[in-house]
Amino acid sequence: MDKFNPRKHHRRSIRLHGYDYSQPGLYFVTICVQNRVCLFGYVENGQMILNAAGKMVEKWYYELEKKFPDIQCHGMIVMPNHFHCIIENTGTIPVGSYLRVCPNSPTGEQTDLGEHDNILSEHAGSPLQRVLQWFKTMTTNEYIRGVKNYGWEPFNGKFWQRNYYEHIVRNDHSFHAISDYIHNNPANWFADRLNSKKP
């Protein structure tokens, strides 16, 4: 496997044509705020200082494990205008569990859940797109409440960029390289191409 290259993996989606993202595996995911506006805090002395909105995003990431029984949340970092994480689809679902988003949950601007809203436990695995859709919806809705109730900075049009970036983690070497990249992201922020304020 080629050495993990964050610059390449940020430049474009490397979603594999025909790859079944519902199968068990680990995925490195990056989601960016629309127009790369810094809404989640700031970096100081190589440390990410989360504001209330950043802590909200962090909270909803770990809610994925409660919503989707086949999902395990690994390392993550909320940066000023984007979010990195490693998500594992374990493919192990308790008998009787349903892999679907709550039918009463608002779905925001991206409402198409395909034909997966009634998948039973026999069909192990939640499609990655649906998991991230739920995450983006929940964080968007709570951010809107924060704007209305707590004076959070408004966003223009959309909260998250429509697309996201993912990389299939194929082996232990890749997992550790990506984990290190996530851990060191704040220290490298001022050289990060996702830093909209970079000189």
Q: Where are the domains of the chain?
A: 6-190
Place of tokens 């679907």: 100
Cβ contacts of residue 154 below 8 Å, gap of 6+?
Answer: 147
Nearest to 84, CA basis, from 29, 122, 23, 3: 29
Q: What is the tens place of the pLDDT at every residue in 65-119?
A: 999 999 999 999 999 999 999 999 988 654 334 333 333 333 333 222 222 222 2
pLDDT at 178: 95
The CATH code of domain 6-190 reads 3.30.70.1290
44 strand-pairing partners: 47
Residue numbers in the chain where pLDDT is lower than 50: 1-16, 94-126
The pLDDT value given to residue 17: 52
Collapsed DSSP state (helix, strand, coil) of residue 75: strand
Distance between CA atoms of residues 156 and 146, nearest Å:
15
